[in-house]
Structure 1
Amino acid sequence: MKNLENKIALITGGNSGIGYATAKELIAQGATVIITGRRKEAVDAAAAALGAFPFTADQSSVAAIEQLAADIKEQFGKIDILFINAGIVGSTSIEMATEALFDNVMAVNFKGAYFTLSRFIPLLKDGASVVFLSSNTASMNTANASIYSSSKAGLNAIMKIAALELAPRGIRVNAVSPGPTETEIFNKMGLDETGIQSIKNHVTDKVPLAKMGRAQDVGKMVAYFCGEASGFITGAEIVMDGGMSLAN
């Protein structure tokens, strides 16, 4: 169904994984979709495959975010949907953490997400929808995940405060927090099929539903938050992890 017809959506990190799947879903529901990413070739290729509009931008740079906002304003005016999806992972013990890793993860996941919202608020139409991609780790206590989990917990705090600040304009702000999700990252590990399956088995052993999530299902949840059916929902976090955080 064309639930998002005549809507303009911007997805950061839309050239792969959950961002790509969400772009595909929003387009299927009738939206005009803009995707961003750091690698121009990858963004251009994904946009061509999707039928989306590509823009190259590094979410870790406030200057790049501001330039992106200026470019979007010039070409599209205002937008109806902002999906702040771009993010990176980083795993280390607190003892072995480096300043470089800390700064890199926080620059993209926390600072970048914060200023993407900040600089795009003037471009949001009244009644627009903002969705953050968070993570179930934001509310879990997992060894070696202190930096990543903190970045996502911070994101959830931003989401709730933004929901209050933007409510007078009818702008809703929510978050989707997936658990283990099948994306092409497994194919980039350099492992053979047996190795990949071994990792998946290890992960799903921790999930009560005994399976991994699908990127397209996260995309459908994001689309739900952007449509009329969720018109009375703001400041909410939906955890999609097959019960993993319940068993943690």
Structure 2
Amino acid sequence: MSDRGARLLTVRADSASLTDLDRLAALIRERHGRLDGVFANAGIGVFQRSGEVTEQDFDRSVDVNFKGVFFTVQKVLPLLDAAGGRSIVINASWTLHRGLAVAPVYAATKAAVHNLARTLGSDLAERGIRVNSVSPGYIVTEMFDAANPDPASHDAIRSQVPLRRLGRAEDVAETVAFLLSPRSSHNTAQDIAVDGGLVNAVPAS
């Protein structure tokens, strides 16, 4: 096994289950003893108009997108303290900045974790732990493809983005890596949009 493989720990867990999160934290402690950083990236999307959302849709979205993120951070905090204080990044969304008719619950949960990053940035600063969020725009993922199954719709979506392309997972990963690294040592309680200009700029005609 390579050194990289020896350092890799894969754990199947439900982020909405506190029992699973306790088990995850225990396994990390047993295997590595500490964490240098955390990227809380749990999220599911229910893309429906408000009148179509069921109580089950609502509960599952809140459980994964908000509750799961909050308790993931809470459960691993002792592992970050053991490292002498490090960095947490929470995955929010561009939808917290603009209304999207088909995403009332999804957008609300992402606004919640965006605010959580600011609140935890204040709460954990004295422990030397920085907390920031990223707000991806349209990123090509399995969830994006499931919500937009018609390839022709991608052109219409792309036309909303000033950089004229859809984002890649690598675009988000590079920003997260920056926020987790010492290069962002004076950044906390901030949000960085990784959206090709979607939120703040109007594409040239």
**Given the two structures, how large is their TM-score scaled by the length of structure 2?**
0.89
- Letter in structure 1 aligned against 2:136: P
Inter-partner Cα distance in structure 2 for 1:183 and 1:143: 21
Matched, 1:134 2:92: yes
Inter-partner Cα distance in structure 2 for 1:150 and 1:80: 29
Residue 244 (structure 1) aligns with: 198
State the secondary structure of the residue aligned to 2:52: coil
Matched, 1:231 2:185: yes
- Following TM superposition, by how much is the alpha carbon of 1:165 offset from its aligned partner in structure 2, in angstroms? 1.1
State the secondary structure of the residue aligned to 1:87: coil
Structure 1: gaps of 5 or more residues? 1-29, 33-47
Q: Deviations over 1:136-189 (max 9, x none)?
A: 111111112110000000001111111111111211101111000122446668
Residue 71 (structure 2) aligns with: 115
Structure 2: gaps of 5 or more residues? none
Residue 45 (structure 2) aligns with: 89
Inter-partner Cα distance in structure 1 for 2:39 and 2:184: 15
Q: Deviations over 1:20-61 (max 9, x none)?
A: xxxxxxxxxx9x7xxxxxxxxxxxxxxx7xx73211111011
Q: Name which of 144, 147, 165 aligns with 2:102.
A: 144
Q: Report which stretch shifted further, 104-113 or 88-97.
A: 88-97
Inter-partner Cα distance in structure 2 for 1:105 and 1:244: 24
Counting only pairs closer than 5 Å after superposition, residues 44-55 of structure 1 correspond to structure 2 as 52-55=8-11
The percent of aligned pairs where both chains have the same amino acid is 36
From the two aligned structures, give the one with the greater strand fraction.
1
**Given the two structures, how large is their TM-score scaled by the length of structure 1?**
0.74
Inter-partner Cα distance in structure 2 for 1:141 and 1:110: 19
**Residues 245 and 161 of structure 1: is their aligned pair in 2 closer, same or farther, counting only changes over 3 Å?**
same
Paired positions, count: 198
The 8 Å contact of residues 47 and 147 in structure 2, kept in 1 or not, is answered as: no
**Residues 144 and 185 of structure 1: is their aligned pair in 2 closer, same or farther, counting only changes over 3 Å?**
closer
The 8 Å contact of residues 45 and 143 in structure 2, kept in 1 or not, is answered as: no
